Amino acid sequence: MTISYDGIQMSPLPDRNVFGEPLVPCSFDPLTGFLRDGCCRTEDSDVGAHIVCAVMTAAFLEFSFQYGNDLSTPRPQWQFPGLVAGDQWCLCLSRWIEAHTAGCAPLVVLESTHENVLDYVPLAVLQQYDHRSDGAVD
């Protein structure tokens, strides 16, 4: 994508992850992201801020269902395949924080999680949920 300013074509700055590096895609199968481009990036119309790349667990999917967001049922009209444990998906920041508070937040793919998350969650907390860990959250 390019933008134009005063007749000059420019590329926007790349989205960054929590390490300040270029954002790595979260998942192409299932295809995730608010923009369905595989990346956990956002724009003004994304009121949910789908910027946390998380690895789904049965416990989190049940938690989300109990809070009124059924992530397991396919919704073709929204290009949503329905998720199963092990899928990577761009979650709403607020849902991940709720799950963290409740003790059932899924692991996070830090390289694929947008840097804007750091405005609400410290990196040290996110690192406790690093998907490359043994799965034990401190």
C-alpha 66, offset from chain centre: 20
Tokens of 23: 């954002």
Q: Which of 39, 51, 33, 38 is nearest to 96 (CA)?
A: 51
**Structure confidence by residue, pLDDT tens digits, 38-53:** 999 999 899 889 999 9
The mean pLDDT value of the chain amounts to 89
Superfamily of domain 15-128 in the CATH hierarchy: Protein of unknown function DUF2237 (3.30.56.110)
Buried residues in 124-136 as b, exposed as e (16+ CB within 10 A): ebbeebebeeeee
What's the pTM? 0.86
Q: Is the pLDDT of residue 3 over 50?
A: no
**Domain ranges, ordered by start, for the chain:** 15-128
